Amino acid sequence: MLMQPECVPCILGRLLFETNLVDPSKGKEVMTEAIRILYEEFERGGNSALIATRLHRKTYEILGSDDPYYDMKKQANSVSLSLLPEARRFVESSENRFLAAAIAAVAGNVLDFGIRTGTMMPEQLAENFSSMLEEGLGHDDTRKIMEYIKPGSKVLYFTDNCGEIVFDKLLMREIRARGAHLTLVVKGKPMLSDAIMEDVRELDMDREADTVMTTGSDAVGIDLNDMPTELEGALNTCDIIIAKGMANYEAFSGSDYRPIAYMMKTKCRPVADSIRLPKGISVAKLVE
């Protein structure tokens, strides 16, 4: 997805948010560098995820931190674990377990710190979780998605935020219960609030997957021009890709990889317009 005018104030706000988490005195330096990079990148047009990667890497460099969101990520996982029994009951009591698991997995996508449309603090998820489960999906392609998930099929599952990944476990179980081979993909290095291998191990997520890979880097979403050979091979041979969250949508949407199921909250107008759905809804959208 190309960066849109609305993306500029959004990402500047996020850079300032993470700066204040680490060292507020670096705010002027961070904003100066961010404006310089945006001036170079925005005018010539470019993929929003790749531009965001360059901006966050520079900010982390200035701050001298490789993981500004570390404490918030741990808190998000903890809060989500406390809600997991409710989510599990929701799935187990449903006539359509796959749909229910998808609803729970997308509900966790509100955990996205530092943007106006995300949940700023993990505790806020607990306040709204039940209503989000009951609300369901605003766009539901799960029946079409399920057609690709059958005995022997290969599913490549790209995760997004910490906290959210706790509920991904429920959907991962339903995928494997259908006889599919599941490969889980997390970030290769810390970026924003995204899950990494440390989270996979701490949450025993490797028990819910047949294989676990990383993107090989800290790129926002994924840099499709810079990924491990193993992951590239998996992308070229899988039967379906499940891409959680807006950053993965921004990275994949301009590619030729198909079929791909985007599962996320449409938190901003540029993403909502790009995927041709309303802003602010829970989405399971299949692109074939």
pLDDT value at 154 more than 90: yes
Residue 108 lies in a domain: yes
**Cα Dmax for the chain:** 55
43 and 137 fall within a common domain: no
User: What is the CATH classification number for the domain harbouring 123?
Assistant: 3.40.50.10880
pLDDT confidence band for 116 (50 / 70 / 90): low
Residue 123 lies in a domain: yes
165 and 52 fall within a common domain: no
Strands 211-214 and 181-186: parallel
pLDDT value at 151 more than 90: yes
77 and 179 fall within a common domain: yes
pLDDT confidence band for 127 (50 / 70 / 90): confident
pLDDT value at 32 more than 90: yes
- Res 114: pLDDT: 61
pLDDT value at 222 more than 60: yes
C-alpha distances in angstroms, 71 versus 34, 53, 68, 78?
24, 21, 8, 11
- Bridge partners of 43, per DSSP, are none
What token pair was written down for 205?
Answer: 């997520």
pLDDT confidence band for 122 (50 / 70 / 90): confident
Query: Bigger pLDDT: 120 or 28?
Result: 28
Mean pLDDT of 19-27: 97
182 and 50 fall within a common domain: no
50 and 149 fall within a common domain: no
- Res 273: pLDDT: 95
- Res 124: pLDDT: 80
119 and 261 fall within a common domain: yes
Of 24, 42, 63, the position where a domain reaches its end is 63
207 and 272 fall within a common domain: yes
pTM above 0.85, yes or no: yes
Residue 244 lies in a domain: yes
| % of residues, the chain, pLDDT over 70 | 97
Helices of type H across 136-179:
142-146, 164-177
Residue 1 lies in a domain: no
Query: Are the C-beta atoms of residues 147 and 232 closer than 8 Å to each other?
Result: no
The mean pLDDT value of the chain amounts to 94
User: What is the CATH classification number for the domain harbouring 32?
Assistant: 1.10.8.380
3-state SS assignment for residue 30? helix
27 and 120 fall within a common domain: no
**Integer Cα distance of 33 and 6 in angstroms:** 19
Residue 153 lies in a domain: yes
Query: Are the C-beta atoms of residues 52 and 11 closer than 8 Å to each other?
Result: yes
pLDDT one-digit tens code per residue, 161-204: 999 999 999 999 999 999 999 999 999 999 999 999 999 999 99
- Res 281: pLDDT: 94
C-alpha distances in angstroms, 283 versus 29, 97, 128, 243?
37, 17, 17, 11
32 and 109 fall within a common domain: no
pLDDT value at 212 more than 70: yes
**Integer Cα distance of 149 and 90 in angstroms:** 22
Supply the range of the domain harboring residue 17: 7-63
191 and 89 fall within a common domain: yes
Which secondary structure element, helix H or strand E, spans residue 72, and what is its range?
A: helix 70-92
96 and 30 fall within a common domain: no
Mean pLDDT of 87-91: 97
Task: Report the number of distinct structural domains present in the chain.
Answer: 2
Mean pLDDT of 134-161: 97
Query: Are the C-beta atoms of residues 190 and 215 closer than 8 Å to each other?
Result: no
Mean pLDDT of 114-123: 63
110 and 173 fall within a common domain: yes
**Integer Cα distance of 281 and 17 in angstroms:** 25
pLDDT value at 119 more than 60: no
Residue type, 127: E
Q: 193-218: b or e for each residue (b if 16 or more CB lie within 10 Å)?
A: bbbbbebbeebebeebbeebbbbbbb
Residue 2 lies in a domain: no
Give all strands of the β-sheet with 260-265 in edge-to-edge order.
139-140, 282-287, 260-265, 240-244, 154-158, 181-186, 211-214
- Bridge partners of 183, per DSSP, are 156, 211
- Res 90: pLDDT: 97
C-alpha distances in angstroms, 249 versus 62, 118, 126, 215, 265?
28, 16, 26, 15, 11
The torsion defined by the Cα of 70, 121, 116 and 103, in degrees rounded to 10, comes to: 100
pLDDT confidence band for 24 (50 / 70 / 90): very high
In this structure, is the dihedral angle defined by the CA atoms of residues 240, 243, 249 and 254, taken in order, positive or negative?
negative
- Res 277: pLDDT: 97
